[in-house]
Amino acid sequence: MKNECDVVKDLLPSYAEDLLSDNTNQFVKEHLDSCKECRKVYDGMKKINYNKEDDEQIEINHLKKYSRHMLVLKVVLVILVFIIITLPLFFVIRFNLNKNITSKAINNVNEYKNVNNYLLQITEHNIDFERNTESFHNSKYFYKDNQYKKEMHSETPGVNIQNADSFEYGNINSKEKVEIIETQKVCYNVKANYILQKKDGFLDFMMIALQPFSEDYGTLPNIWFQAGYNLRTDKYNGRKCYVLRLGDKSSYGEIWIDKEQNTLVRTVDEIYKRSYNEKVYSIKSDVVTNEDVTLPDLTGYTIKDSEDNVPSEYIGIYEQLGICCIKGGTIIYKYSLSINSR
């Protein structure tokens, strides 16, 4: 019997793996049924095998989990690389598209610098939501052969504006001009120690509206800032326009450019439902007559002389900004570049 047990014990590993022939397998099985000692050895062997299988399964599960983590990491890395590559490309493409549109509008304004006859009109609508007030301004700039006229009209519903209608006549690069306050029937002959109006001064109002794209802030700041404008198409008074918008619903700025004529049409600024400003631009060439820029008959007007001298160190600044004069502590009007900046 002992010899048979020795033989069976030698065969147990193969028996456990089901590697024996049918006859040998039957022999071992019958022996295990009758021999408690060999059965005990076999049961212990199976337990060891089960533990090995559990360890192997744990290791397999760990490898599977590690593989899943590596797969997720690879996907994340691919996405990050894609973003790193495409995001700058997106900004460059968007910058070039916006720049191309606005460059044509800027070139259109610059072309008027060589025109000797044009009329620029700017209508402005302001709303102060906090004070519940609104105002309207209509400005016309007539230019013909170095002579000009400014025509200003302001209106605030429910408010009597003393300077609601005013006119200015003069010559380009001159230190003299005539200002007429129509509502008061007063005429001021103004003499200054600086040039009061330059030829391109009227066009600066349009250039300032396009300032986000006309100024050079450096390559990277240009791309970052100008690409931040969202571009869409829309219609204004029947005209198809590109609309460049910066901001969200509560606070934003918009620049409207005619798609066909490449001209500045409109700007809109709204700040957190506190204030709203809209300007509409119109410029035409060869429409100004001599009568438009010729001083009218001032019979019945009060004529006053006025000086508008500034310290010598500020003359260059005044000539650059086109700051208008002050009489008796009252600002007749002040159309410097800064008040129209966006």
> Is pLDDT of 255 > 70?
yes
**Average pLDDT, stretch 249-267?**
93
Element of type H or E holding 271: strand 264-271
User: Which letter does DSSP use for residue 156 in this model?
Assistant: B
Higher pLDDT, 53 or 262: 262
β-strand pairing of 251-258 with 264-271: antiparallel
pLDDT score, position 275? 94
At 140, the pLDDT band (50, 70, 90 cuts) reads very high
pLDDT score, position 322? 54
The tally of CA atoms less than 13 A away on the side-chain side of residue 150 is: 26
Structure tokens belonging to residue 281? 């631009």
> Is pLDDT of 314 > 60?
yes
Nearest to 219 by CA among 230, 207, 227: 227
Secondary structure in 3-state letters for 13-51 = HHHHCCCCCHHHHHHHHHHHHHCHHHHHHHHHHHHHHHH
Mean pLDDT of the chain: 81
Nearest to 202 by CA among 142, 151, 146, 153: 142
Nearest to 115 by CA among 288, 271, 277: 288
Strand partners, 247: 252
> Is pLDDT of 323 > 60?
no
What percentage of the chain exceeds 70 in pLDDT? Answer: 80
pLDDT score, position 313? 78
Strand partners, 134: 127
Domains of the chain: 110-340 (2.50.20)
Higher pLDDT, 341 or 325: 325
What percentage of the chain exceeds 90 in pLDDT? Answer: 40
Q: What pLDDT digit, counting tens, does each position of 18-42 carry?
A: 777 877 777 777 777 788 787 777 7
DSSP one-letter string for 209-235: HTHHHHS---HHHHHHHHTTSEEEEEE
User: Which one-letter amino acid corresponds to residue 204?
Assistant: D
